A and B are shown apart, each in its own frame.
Chain A
């Protein structure tokens, strides 16, 4: 079975027409994972029993000749920050090393309700904090295109699994670029929807006002199909929006001729790698040839995005991660004499270096005397950054930028310099602060054959436009 050519539609049709069973698609993936994953490290846990039960259910529906749901039989992987009932969920952290959740994340439940077969849980940076997947407490993920390089982060396992044909589609989470940047590094498509489009219920919280769940796929249509099944109001998440979900496939197939596409000089400045710039400019030219009108827009506060982001994100993280105290679940240090010592020792031994760094930074920014100077200031800058987009979207339908200033870097290259690692998030954190949707689609390769990603932003709740531009771009490639 050639796993690399599988798409959601091809799998569902084959199962519906009873040419291939859902069970054999799942088995073929498990066989491939067994031989391929030892060198990549994308999976943290497999849930074969659950997967085969789901596959059998789908196969029996197909045998009865019933019309199958949209993701029927499709082998998927789930980032380990989304809880799965009965399947160990660690968030890439030792502090949750043996945590077996009693409930399912809404996004995962909706995928399974649409027929998807969950193969297992995917590696990631600890609590989704990182841009290289090197902060996983368990093992790094390697980039399938070049094993000496990182897959990006924090959803490195989710991107690598799709790139290495170890799942047809996967779910990731994106708090500052954690879907789009690894998609770009691994040469796949990754979509961060609008804040509120997909329920966060069951997503282990990093920064609640910035966290998003979204899909990875080998093409734009697959990400649209996965989004379609997840999107929409969920009573379990009061920030999920009660706004109608359009038919993304129908919207995606509309022509792009006459659309106004914005380009912003702030995303093409200092620090941008030459080859990435060339690929981005070529992509813009291609959109122009498709009949789009290219318009220069200004997003003047872009350079303040990383500092504002790292205050807001760490402040929220310091609060969210206070729950890990060794009482109700997770790791508890042994040999302690008092409750307060148990808290400190459990957290000291359970959290990794980057997580502690962010808890410290966030706690500092929220502490007495610094709240106004850091946290409140960052929230005000967040308003300015969001206004930049609102202003630009008065004149354009979408904005295109590079996803990341460089292609995938080497393992170990930035691990000792947290600030350098943070600065690499420059083009992605803006969409999290503003809450707008963004996608990364492959737009070429460097001389070293490393993938380059093109990022496309849209208005709030206009995933349809983002997918439409991405799909037209992909088809013209």
Chain B
């Protein structure tokens, strides 16, 4: 078993999930089954292979340029197109579970 009950609890905490005892038991079984399969990747020697985070890493890149300039996808003028009108206050708050009309409201932040 690669993943222990302790790992499940730790990862759930990182992910802001609580999970019931039943869910934790299922998670333990499923994560071990899936990661067991994923281990087949270790058969591949990737020491000299660059990682690929985006399709644009392989396509549409002009390596003679630097930074995001390399990508024909990403480059744009800094100002005009980037300035977008924000949502109006009432529109932005319309879906909030709780608000006072000006701010989103949440339960107490500082815990004792």
Q: Which residues of A contact B (CB under 8 A)?
A: 98-100, 102-103, 194-196, 209, 235-236, 238-243, 301, 303-304, 306-308, 310-311, 318, 322, 325-332, 336-345, 347-348, 351, 353, 356-357, 359-361, 363-364, 367, 374, 376-384, 386, 390, 418-419, 422-423, 434-435, 460
Q: Which residues of A contact B51 (CB under 8 A)?
A: 376, 379-380, 382-383
Q: List 19 A-B contacts (CB under 8 A).
A: A102-B91, A235-B81, A241-B73, A304-B44, A307-B41, A328-B96, A336-B107, A342-B106, A344-B18, A357-B30, A360-B11, A360-B12, A360-B17, A361-B31, A364-B35, A367-B10, A419-B33, A419-B37, A435-B55
Assuming the contacts A304-B41, A342-B106, A361-B31, asked whether A209 and B49 have C-beta atoms less than 8 A apart, the reply is no
- Expressed in whole angstroms, the minimum distance between the Cβ of B33 and any Cβ of chain A is 5
CB < 8 Å: which of B3, B42, B73, B92 contacts A238? B73
A-B contact sample (11 more), CB < 8 A, given A102-B95, A381-B41, A422-B34 = A102-B91, A307-B37, A339-B109, A345-B18, A348-B18, A364-B35, A377-B41, A377-B46, A380-B52, A381-B44, A383-B57
Assuming the contacts A322-B16, A327-B96, A344-B17, asked whether A418 and B52 have C-beta atoms less than 8 A apart, the reply is no
Q: Which residues of A contact B17 (CB under 8 A)?
A: 344, 347-348, 351, 356, 359-360
Q: Which residues of A contact B50 (CB under 8 A)?
A: 380, 383
Residue of A nearest to B13 (CB): A344
- Expressed in whole angstroms, the minimum distance between the Cβ of B9 and any Cβ of chain A is 11
B66, CB-defined interface residue at 8 Å: no
Assuming the contacts A363-B11, A364-B11, asked whether A195 and B52 have C-beta atoms less than 8 A apart, the reply is no
Asked if B94 and A100 make an inter-chain contact with CB atoms under 8 angstroms apart, the answer reads yes
Assuming the contacts A241-B60, A243-B72, A419-B37, asked whether A383 and B18 have C-beta atoms less than 8 A apart, the reply is no
CB < 8 Å: which of B3, B53, B108 contacts A364? B3
Q: Which residues of A contact B46 (CB under 8 A)?
A: 377, 380-381, 384
Q: How far does the alpha carbon of A377 sit from the alpha carbon of B44 in the complex, in Å? A: 9
Asked if A360 and B72 make an inter-chain contact with CB atoms under 8 angstroms apart, the answer reads no
- Expressed in whole angstroms, the minimum distance between the Cβ of A166 and any Cβ of chain B is 29
Asked if A367 and B41 make an inter-chain contact with CB atoms under 8 angstroms apart, the answer reads no
Q: Could you tell me which residues of chain B, from 1 to 40, have a CB within 8 Å of some CB in chain A?
A: 3, 7-8, 10-12, 14-19, 23, 26-27, 30-31, 33-35, 37-40
Main secondary structure of the interface of A (DSSP, over half): helix
CB < 8 Å: which of A325, A377, A386, A418 contacts B34? A418
Asked if A209 and B72 make an inter-chain contact with CB atoms under 8 angstroms apart, the answer reads no
Assuming the contacts A307-B40, A310-B34, asked whether A329 and B53 have C-beta atoms less than 8 A apart, the reply is no
Q: Which residues of B contact A347 (CB under 8 A)?
A: 15-17
- Expressed in whole angstroms, the minimum distance between the Cβ of B99 and any Cβ of chain A is 9
Range for the number of chain B residues in contact with chain A: 35 or more
CB < 8 Å: which of A304, A326, A367 contacts B97? A326
Q: Which residues of A contact B73 (CB under 8 A)?
A: 196, 238-242
Assuming the contacts A328-B104, A339-B107, A359-B17, asked whether A435 and B34 have C-beta atoms less than 8 A apart, the reply is no
Asked if A367 and B11 make an inter-chain contact with CB atoms under 8 angstroms apart, the answer reads yes
Q: Which residues of A contact B3 (CB under 8 A)?
A: 364
- Expressed in whole angstroms, the minimum distance between the Cβ of B24 and any Cβ of chain A is 10
Q: How far does the alpha carbon of A188 sit from the alpha carbon of B109 in the complex, in Å? A: 51
Q: How far does the alpha carbon of A435 sit from the alpha carbon of B54 in the complex, in Å? A: 9
Q: Which residues of A contact B7 (CB under 8 A)?
A: 364
Asked if A379 and B53 make an inter-chain contact with CB atoms under 8 angstroms apart, the answer reads yes
Q: Which residues of B contact A196 (CB under 8 A)?
A: 55-56, 59-60, 73
Q: Which residues of B contact A308 (CB under 8 A)?
A: 41
Q: Which residues of B contact A378 (CB under 8 A)?
A: 41
- Expressed in whole angstroms, the minimum distance between the Cβ of A11 and any Cβ of chain B is 34
- Expressed in whole angstroms, the minimum distance between the Cβ of B85 and any Cβ of chain A is 11
Q: How far does the alpha carbon of A229 sit from the alpha carbon of B46 in the complex, in Å? A: 41
Q: How far does the alpha carbon of A322 sit from the alpha carbon of B27 in the complex, in Å? A: 19
Asked if B41 and A332 make an inter-chain contact with CB atoms under 8 angstroms apart, the answer reads no
Q: How far does the alpha carbon of A236 sit from the alpha carbon of B30 in the complex, in Å? A: 38
Asked if B97 and A331 make an inter-chain contact with CB atoms under 8 angstroms apart, the answer reads yes
Among A243, A308, A353, A361, which residue has the most Cβ atoms of chain B within 10 A?
Answer: A361
Residue of B nearest to A436 (CB): B55
Q: How far does the alpha carbon of A356 sit from the alpha carbon of B41 in the complex, in Å? A: 24
Residue of B nearest to A308 (CB): B41
Among A100, A243, A351, A360, which residue has the most Cβ atoms of chain B within 10 A?
Answer: A360
Asked if A239 and B56 make an inter-chain contact with CB atoms under 8 angstroms apart, the answer reads yes
Q: Which residues of B contact A460 (CB under 8 A)?
A: 55, 59
Shortest Cβ-Cβ A-B pairs, 4 listed: A435-B55, A379-B51, A329-B95, A332-B97
